[in-house]
Amino acid sequence: MSAQPEHGWGAMPLPEIRTVDDLRSALSRYGFPGDRERFEEELAAAIGAAPTNDFEGAAAVVRAYRHRVHIRNSPEIMAALEDARAGGGGT
């Protein structure tokens, strides 16, 4: 049995995210609570507002949520967030 980090966030295997469907699966499994639902809402809004020849807004939503999966998988970032939430991250 291996020791867990004292902050409680162990590294999870980082999923491959090559497609929007991969991202959906990763958000369901590795995302923060509510990420998958917010992703779907933001993606739909970005696509609906996009000109038919420019989906940069939708691409930005995909990049942002892919980054959230990476953040959620980083023990260092999660520990810093936990410290900040507990009031120990003041500068």
The 10s digit of each residue's pLDDT in 20-65 is 999 999 999 988 899 999 999 999 999 999 999 999 999 999 999 9
Contact between residue 10 and residue 75 where contact means Cβ atoms under 8 Å apart? yes
The answer to pTM > 0.75 is no
Residue 26 CB coordination number (10 Å): 23
| Host H or E run for residue 54 | none
More confident residue, 7 or 52: 52
Instruction: Give pLDDT, residue 46.
Output: 97
Q: How confident is the model at residue 72 (pLDDT cuts 50, 70, 90)?
A: confident
Instruction: Give pLDDT, residue 12.
Output: 60
